[in-house]
Amino acid sequence: MAGDNIKLPSIDDVRFAAERIRNYIHRTPVLTSISINKIVGSDVYFKCENFQKVGAFKFRGATNAVFSLLDEEIRKGVATHSSGNHAQAIALTAKMRGTKAFIVMPSNSTKVKVEAVKGYGAEVIFCGPTLQARESTLDEVVSKTGATFIHPYNNFNVISGQGTTALELLEDVKNLDYVITPVGGGGLLSGSLTTISAISPSTRVIAAEPEGADDAYRSIIENRIVPSVNPKTVCDGLFTSLGELTFEIIKKNIYKIITVSDDSVIKAMRLIWERMKIIVEPSSAITLGILLENKIDLKTKRIGIILSGGNVDLENLPWMRK
């Protein structure tokens, strides 16, 4: 488990990923909002991965991982367990590569999510709603099919792929004082750190984590991976624990992890919807939540924010839940 023995992605891996996935992904826009700038007192640049294919940055890492496999590896397909954006990302990119995807999903996944994955032609295998059930079912699928497992975040090529988001952001916006990303399993955060620490070392990277799922925050304090147990937050994309790879990268490079209340997440989400007229999910809006809470003074700074995705249940918006 010693970090020194783990091979971590470098900026060259991120650049290589950018070339590999260029023709498959969207180059997403960076948007600004005069009224949000006024409210928070800084210049905020929103990198809109909610406009990415499948509606989330996850498509970058999945595509880099799937397209990095050799022809003989890819023939038996790819597999993963996920009830969220990574499932759709693997399903779509496998289809693009012309291979099969096996997606292990908890039996209590919403119909919409299952249909979306099936819509991309993937085979869905249901399992019980525990992490243990997911992993054992995945093991069975892999040993039966010979498919290659692509972990949602603790995977070298996935992290390199996620790092391309910050690469584009830094190309489009110069002299950022800070970049804020959400942190769940740490794929986006560690990819962003890989890119930013190499290209713009004076830019400080802050991660936003829900108060009710603050395992990454505690992991940094305790200098070990603290598992996420019974996370309680509206940010349904940020339930997961850090992985060995993501923890190493974050530990080395992070400026701060800041926790945010669900109230602030919802307020930030609504602000983005109302002022920017774009749809983001709670796990994205948490980044702006930091600027609303003022736990750290970022006034008058130039701040890049990665809006990680826009997949929400339009029947059940968080400000409607009582």
Active site residues: 58, 83
- Measured from the CB of residue 119, what is the shortest distance to a second copy in angstroms? 10
Q: Which stretch binds a second copy (CB under 8 A): 37-45, 93-101, 152-160, 307-315?
A: 307-315
* Tokens matching residue 296: 């750290």
Kindly identify the residues of this chain, within the stretch 205-244, that bind a second copy according to CB under 8 A: none
Q: Which residue number, 75 or 270, has a Cβ lying nearer to a second copy?
A: 270
Diameter of the chain by CA atoms? 56
Asked if residue 56 lies in contact with residue 308, where contact means CB atoms within 8 angstroms, the answer is yes
- Measured from the CB of residue 278, what is the shortest distance to a second copy in angstroms? 6
CA–CA dist 68, 208 (Å, integer): 30
Q: Which of 5, 202, 314, 321 binds a second copy (CB under 8 A)?
A: 314
The reply to whether 310 sits near a second copy by the rule CB under 8 A is yes
Q: Tell me which amino acid residue 88 is.
A: Q
Kindly identify the residues of this chain, within the stretch 46-75, that bind a second copy according to CB under 8 A: 50-51, 55
The alpha-carbon radius of gyration of the chain (Å, integer) is: 18
- Measured from the CB of residue 314, what is the shortest distance to a second copy in angstroms? 6
Q: Which residue number, 61 or 318, has a Cβ lying nearer to a second copy?
A: 318
- Measured from the CB of residue 282, what is the shortest distance to a second copy in angstroms? 14
CA–CA dist 27, 21 (Å, integer): 10
- Measured from the CB of residue 299, what is the shortest distance to a second copy in angstroms? 22
* Tokens matching residue 240: 């997961």
The reply to whether 11 sits near a second copy by the rule CB under 8 A is no
Asked if residue 79 lies in contact with residue 149, where contact means CB atoms within 8 angstroms, the answer is yes
* Tokens matching residue 261: 């209340």
Kindly identify the residues of this chain, within the stretch 102-161, that bind a second copy according to CB under 8 A: none
User: Cβ-count burial of 125 within 10 angstroms (0-12 exposed, 13-18 middle, 19+ buried)?
Assistant: middle
CA–CA dist 307, 298 (Å, integer): 18
At residue 13's C-alpha, the angle toward residues 207 and 158, to 5°, is 55
Q: Which residue number, 71 or 315, has a Cβ lying nearer to a second copy?
A: 315
Binding-residue pattern over the window 268 to 287 for a second copy, x denoting contact by CB under 8 A: --x--xx-xxxxx-------
The reply to whether 315 sits near a second copy by the rule CB under 8 A is yes
Kindly identify the residues of this chain, within the stretch 21-40, that bind a second copy according to CB under 8 A: 29
Nearest one of 93, 92, 88, 95 to 109, comparing CA atoms:
88
Q: Which residues would be at the binding site for a second copy (CB under 8 A)?
A: 29, 50-51, 55, 270, 273-274, 276-280, 310, 314-315, 317, 319-320
